[in-house]
Amino acid sequence: MALSSSLSAKGVYLDPATFINNVFAGQPPVPDKLTLSGQLAQDVRNILEHRYKKIRVTYWQDAQRTAWILEEIGKERPITAGFVVENNKIEDFKVLIFRESRGWEIRNEFFTRQFSGAFLKTNSRLNQSIDNITGATMSVNAMKKLSRMALFLHNHVITQQ
């Protein structure tokens, strides 16, 4: 029984295209790309504690609202997550694709809702603590890092306009 629940925990919970479509009520803006180079790349590296796997990050923007689909390794495999940021705060966060054998509980609302309203303090840390999940520490840490990255990139995009 435990084996079957572990196997069923992996997979696509929400297609990234559907996530973006839902965020923008069926009318998503044209996606844009942000190149991670120079100081921006270094700042992202400081948040993640390693270089991000892609040099260009796709995002969607409508006025002061942005949506990001980002990936980070949990224990061994990438976890794909979607973030919506408005007014420099996380409005929504969903685990879209989970590929690990453990830690799937991070997709549940009891975990994701902890990020609602979170913003970055001046030290690029979240303003609120996020409760850990026993057996999912690496997945939790990965999502905390991605939330910080989404907030940081949102702020960068908004202030560059």
At 76-105, the pLDDT tens digits run 999 999 999 999 999 999 999 999 988 999
d(CA 117, CA 151): 11
Q: Are 79 and 73 in contact (CB under 8 A)?
A: yes
pLDDT > 90? residue 161? no
pLDDT > 60? residue 8? no
Residue-level pLDDT at 10: 73
* Strand, helix or coil for residue 73: strand
Q: What is the mean pLDDT of residues 146-155?
A: 99
Residue type, 133: I
Q: What is the mean pLDDT of residues 25-39?
A: 98
From the list 112, 118, 126, the residue with the least C-alpha distance to 81 is: 112
pLDDT more than 70, % of the chain: 94
Average pLDDT, the chain: 94
Give the DSSP H or E segment for 56. strand 56-62
Q: Are 19 and 94 in contact (CB under 8 A)?
A: yes
Question: Is the pTM here over 0.75, yes or no?
Answer: yes
> Which ranges of the chain would DSSP assign to H, the alpha helix?
2-9, 16-23, 38-48, 109-112, 137-159
Domain boundaries, the chain: 2-159
pLDDT > 80? residue 45? yes
Q: Are 57 and 89 in contact (CB under 8 A)?
A: no
User: Helix 137-159 crosses helix 38-48 at what angle (to 10 degrees)?
Assistant: 160
pLDDT > 70? residue 6? no
